[in-house]
Every structure is written in structure tokens, then in C-alpha cells.
Amino acid sequence: MTEDMHDPILDAFTRRLAAVELLVPPKPPALPGSASGSKITVVGGMAVRPTGRVGSTSTRRNILAPVGLAAAVVIGLVGASLLAGGGTGPGTSPIPSPTSSPSTVPPSAPAGVVYQSVNFERPVAATLGDGWSRVADTNGELTFDLPITTGANPETGSVMIADLDLVSIDPCPASGIGGATQIWRPATPAVGPQHLMDWIESTSGVPHDPPKPVTIGGISGLETTLSPGVGSLQACAGTAYLGDLTSGRSLKIAENEATRIAAIVLGDRTILVVTDVPRAALFADFASKADQLIDTFDFAPTN
């Protein structure tokens, strides 16, 4: 072949090679996480770069090769970027989110939203104020919690609606472990609240305030606040066991705690509304917040 002869196939290849040289920069773009160059995030196989244009968050650039060898080079570069950056396209493994598992997060509602019991044996509705969370809704118990203190060891107060099932025969066992119980069976349902207050006075051995009338959800009853000081339950190893609830939880109180027990009658059962704090010093402030919640209780809600 002489110098003045031209091969059209060779000429076409030369032109395409020149296009490739223009398309591929002398220094490849920096991959995500590198110290220099603009960041590249791969979204669905497309390169997305940040832009300084007002009102726009990103600009998509489709890298298109003319044909042939140019297309092969560009596809190879994009494929390398996907492997290095951990692509988000189909077939890739997403990075787990650091958020908490739903099972560890107590269910709650925004302030002012009415919570309707789901499992409690008596339908109850309550309007949750700011910060309150529902933590139990079982056949024999409906409990709401509210954080009281913050810090490394935050303290929480609670308001519980519960069905009284059993009372302790000996509320002050020397072992500090709850002992034998007996079925709570007042002479008639109507006298249940008064008989419970009498039992606390005569049998519990726990320091308490004189019972006083209370109305909860339009239902009259009686309530008392139990607050055993340090050393007052020494014979019980520091804890008094009052009884068991239908839910299976023990109704107990330890020294330096404060628990307010209100008793009302629903149907043929004695229902307790229990306000509890882990330290007696927290009770006065928490009780005012608890009263705001209790005042919203409705034991005959309409759907």
C-alpha cells in the first residue's frame, strides 16, 4: 500500500479512536469517598453530580459513546464506578438503617389524640397529652407511661388501669418474695372499693393516707396513696406485695416509692387506677400530670 492511498475502514477507526480520546479524561473522576474531585453517586446506573444551580439538587448526565470501541470503554468506566461505590441498583445489598426496631419503640400517639383500648376487658378511651405512651394493653391491664427525669438513668411514672384478681394473704413476707394469695371477692361488687381500702388499712401494713372519694370517668370510688419511707418495710425485706392483677403482674410497692390506688366498680369487678412513681419525691409533680390523663378516661366510649 502506497502513502497516498487511503483505506476507508482504517480512516473510520481512526476517527472513532479520536472520539474516545476526547471522551475519556486524562485523569479519571474521583470515586466517592476520595480526597479530591467531585463526588459521584450512582443512582440506577446513572452518574449524578451536585450542581450549584439554585432550585436544583442534582444534574443527571448520561454518558453516551458514539458506537463501537467508545461505547465499550465508557461502559467499562461506569461499571468500575458501580463496583467501587456500592451501587444501589437491583441485586445490591442495602446498608441497614441505624434506626430502632419498631418492637423496641413503645407505641405512642401525638398529644391530644384519643387512644382506644384494644384488648382490655372493659373498653376504655383516653386522650394522651404530650409525652405519654401506651406500654401495655392486655385483657387485665392498660398502662400509660410518661418520662419524669432525663439523663443517664431516666425515671418514668405510670398510670395503670387494672382488674384486681387476687390479694395477698401475707403482704409482708420476710423473704421479700410474694407469697400465697386469695381471690378478691367482696360481699357485693358495689362495696369493692370500700373493702379494698379497709384491707389496706387492716392487713397491708403499708403506710398510707386516709382514703378519700374520687370520681373517674363519671364513676365514684375511693383512693389512697401509699408511701412507705426508708426502713418502714424492713420486716418485708423492703417490698410489700399487695396482690396480683388479671394480667399476671404483681401489685407491689418498695420503700421510698409512692403509689396511689383508686378503686372503682365496673360491672361486677373492682377496677384499679394506679398512679406510680419510682421515688416518693417525684410524686407530687407527676400526680398533677397523671390527673390530667385520668380526667380524660371514658369507660363507655362510642366508636
Residue with cell 376487658: 121
Mean pLDDT over 194-198 rounds to 96
**Is the model's pLDDT at 168 over the cut of 70?**
yes
Mean pLDDT over 143-154 rounds to 92
Residue ranges of domains in the chain, CATH in brackets: 8-85 (no CATH), 102-294 (3.40.1000)
Contacts of 243 (CB under 8 A, 6+ apart): 164, 165, 166, 167, 168, 181, 184, 250, 251
Mean pLDDT over 191-196 rounds to 96
Q: What pLDDT sits at residue 303? A: 62
CA distances to 119, 159, 244, 246, 293 from 272, in Å: 17, 10, 12, 11, 15
Mean pLDDT of the chain: 75
**Which helix (H) or strand (E) is 287 found in, with range?**
helix 283-294
Closest CA to 288 of 154, 160, 148: 148
Q: What is the pLDDT of residues 101-120, one digit of tens each?
A: 333 334 444 567 899 999 99
**Is the model's pLDDT at 151 over the cut of 50?**
yes
Contacts of 10 (CB under 8 A, 6+ apart): none
Q: What is the pLDDT of residues 244-298, one digit of tens each?
A: 998 888 999 999 999 999 999 998 999 999 999 999 999 999 999 999 999 999 9
Taking CA 166 as the corner, what is the angle to CA 163 and CA 169, rounded to the nearest 5 degrees? 150
**Is the model's pLDDT at 90 over the cut of 60?**
no
Tell me the whole-structure pTM to 2 decimals: 0.64
**CA dist., res. 286 & res. 295, Å (int):** 14
- Identify the weakest region by mean pLDDT among 14-28, 197-211, 217-231: 14-28
Q: What is the pLDDT of residues 41-88, one digit of tens each?
A: 333 333 333 444 334 343 333 433 344 444 443 334 334 433 343 333
Q: Are residues 83 and 128 in contact, defined by beta-carbon separation less than 8 angstroms?
A: no
Residue type, 283: F
Half-sphere exposure of 167 (CA within 13 A, CB side): 14
Half-sphere exposure of 173 (CA within 13 A, CB side): 14
Q: What pLDDT sits at residue 246? A: 87
